[in-house]
């Protein structure tokens, strides 16, 4: 009898855990398809591959964590937008007026259109940053930009799910 009670408790726990993960990852999705248009880049400082990499990261996030299917046009859920700011600025200055730490800032303007539920559509700027040692400035785009993109993609994903 104890064995069945233990098995039942474990199965119930797994079912609850799975339910929590589902609600975080997908919510109740209204729609079957998603379109993510390639982002433009209107920032003063342009990293050539950033718009394409950001677009692909946003697509991948929704494809991996929802049941949506990617379509080139007319998706039930549609994303478009622009990278509006990318900059690396000194954060802390040490003796001799040299930066000891820098901050990488990235801002994207996103338009989300929900064709099946227009009241859930929105338009918003998303900004995030990463601080890093100034001596890594030459490698900053390689080391930190992908992480910064992922942070913003997560912010967009969370904002979209909060409406469902």
Same domain assignment for residues 14 and 38: no
The verdict on 45 and 22 lying in the same domain is no
Q: 35 and 20 in one domain?
A: no
Tell me, what's the pLDDT at 96?
A: 66
What is the per-residue DSSP string for 37-52?
PPPEE--SS--TTHHH
Residues 20 and 45 in one domain: no
E strand spans, the chain: 33-36, 40-41, 69-70, 77-94, 98-114, 122-133
Do 7 and 49 fall within a single domain?
Answer: no
Element (H, E) at 31: none
In this structure, the answer to whether residues 22 and 55 fall within a common structural domain is no
Taking residues 150-164, report their average pLDDT: 90
Q: How far apart are CA 34 and CA 146, in angstroms?
A: 23
- Its domain, for residue 87, covers 31-162
Residue recorded with tokens 């400035």? 137
**Residue 23 shares a structural domain with residue 55:** no
The pLDDT tens digits of the residues spanning 18-57 come to 433 333 344 455 899 999 999 999 999 999 999 999 999 9
7 and 73 part of one domain: no
Q: How many domains does the chain have?
A: 2
Q: Are residues 19 and 67 in the same domain?
A: no
CATH number (domain holding residue 156): 3.30.160.150
pLDDT of 106 above 60:
yes
74 shares its domain with 126: yes
Confidence of residue 86 (pLDDT cuts 50, 70, 90): very high
Q: What is the mean pLDDT of residues 121-144?
A: 93
State residue 163's pLDDT score. Answer: 64
Burial label, 104 (beta-carbon count in 10 A; 0-12, 13-18, 19+): buried
Place of tokens 């990318």: 86
Regarding whether 84 and 62 lie in a shared domain, the answer is yes
- Specify whether 72 is located in the same domain as 105: yes
44: tokens are 């003063």
Confidence at residue 85, expressed as pLDDT on a 0 to 100 scale: 97
Asked if 72 contacts 103 with a C-beta cutoff of 8 angstroms, the reply is: no
Average pLDDT over residues 137-147: 91
């Amino acid at each position: 009898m104890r064995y069945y009670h233990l098995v039942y408790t474990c199965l119930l726990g797994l079912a609850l855990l799975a339910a929590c993960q589902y609600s975080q990852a997908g919510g109740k999705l209204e729609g079957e398809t998603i379109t993510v248009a390639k982002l433009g880049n209107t920032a003063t400082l342009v990293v050539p591959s950033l718009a394409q990499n950001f677009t692909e990261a946003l697509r991948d996030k929704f494809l991996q964590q929802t049941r949506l299917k990617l379509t080139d046009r007319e998706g039930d859920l549609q994303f478009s937008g622009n990278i509006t700011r990318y900059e690396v600025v000194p954060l802390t200055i040490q003796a001799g007026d040299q930066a000891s730490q820098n901050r990488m800032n990235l801002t994207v303007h996103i338009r989300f259109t929900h064709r099946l539920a227009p009241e859930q559509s929105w338009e918003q700027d998303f900004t995030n940053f990463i601080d890093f040692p100034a001596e890594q400035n030459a490698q900053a785009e390689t080391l930190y930009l992908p992480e910064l993109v992922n942070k913003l993609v997560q912010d967009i994903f969370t904002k979209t799910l909060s409406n469902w």
